[in-house]
């Protein structure tokens, strides 16, 4: 565990010195908040809109979306570390592979929590009303999603070895996952087929839960569903990442 902490600390130190990654992730959600959320205001009055206003609808999903994107692209930083030989240097030390994997995931989670706090503050400025207890639970859900996405991205990074291929795979999967999650527009507006497919997207549960949590509806059934789904996915993805870390990395 000390090893995982050492790696995470070192990674954070490096991230802070080179804050590009920290803010690259934030730029996109902030643009959505500033440019897209106001567009939703016109839709918010439509019958069947599942929130009292646009920001209350969009901000919770934005946190999920940020977790999806920010952690989902972590693999690129790992590929740099393969390229520089840094990962190889670590793999010859007595550090065990689980600690090594956890170290990278921990770093990505810390970054994600920081980004989420920034986004929450920005959303409050845009008029979000937030239940404090719900917000804490939501942060936990965000971290679970972060662990899932970062582990998958790290695993793909080690498998593909090549930035171009990694970008292709990542973009192919992230966009449909995002749209079907209902972050942008209520899935209930869509035809039945979309509504059905949407239920296959684990992020749709996370987005539902996020909205409930922000509103303080802590007993909403979507919350345990989202947590169950992402505890399982996070464990599975982390296990995959540890396994690929054990195998050869050139």
Partner 1 sequence: MQAIIQSERLSKTFVVRGRRPVEAVRGVDLTVAEGEIFGLLGPNGAGKTTMMRMLCTLLLPTDGRATVVGFDLETQQAAIRRHIGYVGQKGGMEAVATGRENLMLQALLYRMPRAAARRTVDALIERLNLAAFADRTTDTYSGGQRRIFDLAAGVVHAPRLLFLDEPTTGLDPQSRARVWEEVTALNAAGTSIFLTTHYLEEADALCGRVAIVDQGEIVALGSPDELKRQVAGDRLTFGYENASAVEAASAILTGEPSVLEMRVEGNSLQVYVDEGDEALPGLMRRLGVAHVPPKTVHLARPTLDDVFLKLTGRTLHADSEAL
Stretch that binds partner 1, among 14-22, 34-42, 62-70, 231-239 (CB under 8 A): 14-22
- Residue 174 CB neighbours (<10 A): 18
Residue whose CB is less far from partner 1, 77 or 204: 77
245 binds partner 1 (CB under 8 A): no
Q: Among 1, 35, 46, 92, indicate the residue that binds partner 1 (CB under 8 A).
A: 92
Q: Among 42, 48, 94, 164, indicate the residue that binds partner 1 (CB under 8 A).
A: 94
CA dist 132 to 62, 99, 230, Å?
17, 33, 22
Query: Whole-angstrom Cα distance, residue 200 to residue 75?
Result: 24
Least Å distance, CB 238 to partner 1, is 21
CA dist 37 to 113, 166, 174, Å?
22, 30, 20
91 binds partner 1 (CB under 8 A): yes
110 binds partner 1 (CB under 8 A): no
Q: Among 24, 52, 89, 199, indicate the residue that binds partner 1 (CB under 8 A).
A: 89
Return the sign of the alpha-carbon dihedral for residues 32, 34, 37, 42: negative
- DSSP per residue over 14-44, as a string? HHHHSTHHHHHHHHHHHHIIIIIHHHHHHHH
87 binds partner 1 (CB under 8 A): yes
CA dist 129 to 51, 60, 110, 202, Å?
12, 11, 25, 25
231 binds partner 1 (CB under 8 A): no
Least Å distance, CB 93 to partner 1, is 4
**Positions that interact with partner 1 (CB under 8 A):** 3, 6, 10, 13-14, 17-18, 83-96, 248-249
């Amino acid at each position: 565990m000390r090893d995982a902490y050492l790696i995470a600390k070192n990674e954070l130190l490096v991230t802070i010195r080179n804050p590009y990654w920290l803010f690259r992730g934030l730029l996109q959600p902030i643009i959505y908040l500033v440019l897209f959320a106001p567009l939703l205001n016109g839709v918010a009055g439509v019958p069947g809109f599942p929130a009292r206003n646009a920001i209350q609808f969009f901000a919770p999903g934005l946190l999920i979306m940020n977790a999806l994107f920010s952690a989902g692209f972590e693999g690129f930083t790992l590929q740099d570390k393969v390229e520089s030989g840094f990962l190889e240097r670590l793999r010859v030390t007595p550090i065990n592979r689980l600690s090594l994997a956890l170290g990278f995931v921990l770093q990505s989670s810390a970054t994600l929590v920081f980004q989420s706090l920034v986004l929450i503050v920005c959303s409050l400025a845009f008029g979000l009303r937030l239940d404090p207890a719900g917000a804490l639970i939501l942060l936990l859900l965000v971290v679970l999603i972060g662990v899932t996405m970062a582990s998958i991205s790290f695993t793909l990074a080690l498998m593909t070895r090549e930035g171009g291929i990694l970008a292709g795979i990542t973009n192919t999967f992230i966009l449909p996952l995002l749209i079907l999650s209902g972050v942008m527009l209520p899935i209930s507006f869509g035809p039945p087929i979309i509504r059905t497919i949407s239920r296959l997207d684990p992020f749709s549960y996370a987005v539902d839960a996020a909205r409930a949590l922000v509103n303080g509806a802590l007993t909403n059934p979507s919350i345990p569903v989202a947590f169950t789904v992402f505890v399982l996915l996070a464990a599975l993805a982390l296990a995959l990442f540890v396994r690929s870390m054990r195998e050869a990395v050139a």
